[in-house]
Amino acid sequence: MFTFFENLSKYGYWFVFICLEAISLWLLVRFNDYQGSVYLTSANVVAGRVMEWETGVISYLTLGDRNRELTRRNAMLEQRVSMLQRLLEEARHDSTYAERRQAGLLEEYELIDARVVSNSVRLKDNYLTINKGEADGVRPEMGVVCGTGLVGIVYQTSAHYALVMPVLNAKSSISCRLRKSGYFGYLSWDGGSPLYAYLDDIPRHARFKVGDAVETSGHSAVFPAGIFVGVVDHIYNSDDGMAYRLKIHLGTDFSRLDNVCVIATPNYEEIRKLEERIENNKISGR
């Protein structure tokens, strides 16, 4: 009996080690499907506060850069507006219906401004934390965009913060299409450079070229159609040779993300219920 206790005090650390290591691995593996784990990320109140404060300081230091960028973008947009205005005037007849429809489409979406308080681009599964949460109307599976295009999808939310799964996450898969021809595929990322992602499942008969714009397809309730994603950078064949795999130069520079918008769809619940019903019918029909 004595030797048993002696051994326990001598080798007890193995027990501690195995327990703690098991907890770590459990966290590592289960993080993605365990909802409560949001408290173990920077979306919890303490970490969120600290990161928000820090981002405040840093963004103050980079104001000059931001200003230049905004001015440039402003000039570009102004130019674009004047060009579009000219085009619109040329095509004045029969445009009233299209205009009304476009305005109606955007009215459905409410935009929630948010700031990125923590961000990473160098992992395999990157996440970013924004400073708006359930109290501001942010819910999981809402789309997130910024001035230069697509960012990602809200993944988990706490009261005042939300965790966003950006395009730069190996688990992210967003339906996107080629702006010109409308052929669609799935945007994914498999690590490496944060500037590039891949668009899979583009059919063999689709015609396009390097430099073509890619936008969201609007095939889900998350994003409206037509949000800019990036441009085609290189064309590959898919592994099975049945489709194209396009390397996309992303429009958003994730390593300097600051201000973003969450797209809140008021009809979201309705769409989801409908989808659920279809799913149920499929199962019961079998």
Partner 1 sequence: MQTFLSRCMWALSLLALQVLVFSHLHLWGVAVPLVFVYLLLMFPKDTARWQVIAWGFVMGLAVDVFSNTPGVAAGAMTLTGLMQPVLLGLMLPKDTVEAVTPSFRLMGTWTYIRYALLLVLFHHIAFFSLEFFSFFHWEYWLTELWGSWLLSVLVIVVLECLRGSK
> Does 16 participate in binding partner 1 (rule CB under 8 A)?
yes
Q: Is 131 exposed, middle or buried (0-12, 13-18, 19+ CB in 10 A)?
A: buried
Using the minimum distance from each CB to partner 1, give the nearer residue, 26 or 236.
Answer: 26
Number of Cβ within a 10 Å radius of residue 93:
6
If phi over 0 gives left and psi between -120 and 50 gives alpha, with beta otherwise, what is residue 237?
beta
The residues facing 214 across adjacent strands are: 178, 230
Q: Is 131 in the site for partner 1 (CB under 8 A)?
A: no
d(CA 3, CA 10): 10
Shortest Å, Cβ 159 to partner 1 = 17
User: Which helix (H) or strand (E) element contains residue 259?
Assistant: strand 259-264
Query: 123: closest CA among 85, 180, 170?
Result: 170
**Interacting residue with partner 1 among 21, 65, 276, 279 (CB under 8 A):** 21
**Contact status: 5 vs partner 1 (CB under 8 A):** no
Where helices occur in the chain by DSSP H, the ranges are 2-30, 45-61, 63-90, 96-107, 268-285
| Residue 43 or 214 having the CB closest to partner 1 | 43
- Binding of partner 1 by 37 (CB under 8 A): yes
Measured from the CB atom, the residue of 81 and 123 that comes closer to partner 1 is 123
The 153-172 contact track toward partner 1, x by CB under 8 A, reads: ----------x------x--
Which residues, including other chains, have CB under 8 Å from residue 154's CB and lie 6 or more apart?
138, 139, 140, 141, 142, 143, 144, 162, 163, 164, 165, 262
Nearest to 158 by CA among 27, 48, 38, 42: 38
What's the alpha-carbon Rg for the chain, to the nearest Å? 23
Short-list 168, 177, 263, 172, CA closest to 223: 263
Q: Is 45 in the site for partner 1 (CB under 8 A)?
A: no
120 is a site residue for partner 1 (CB under 8 A): yes
Choice between 8 and 70, CB closer to partner 1? 8
Piece of 8-16, 78-86, 212-220, 273-281 that binds partner 1 (CB under 8 A): 8-16
Size of the site for partner 1 (CB under 8 A): 35
Figure out which of the listed residues 52, 114, 116, 127 binds partner 1, where binding follows CB under 8 A: 127
Among 100, 122, 204, 273, binds partner 1 (CB under 8 A): 122
Q: Looking at 6, 7, 8, 17, which residue binds partner 1 (CB under 8 A)?
A: 17
Binding site for partner 1 (CB under 8 A): 12-13, 16-17, 20-21, 23-29, 31, 37, 40-42, 44, 47, 50-51, 54, 118, 120, 122-124, 127, 129, 163, 170, 190-192
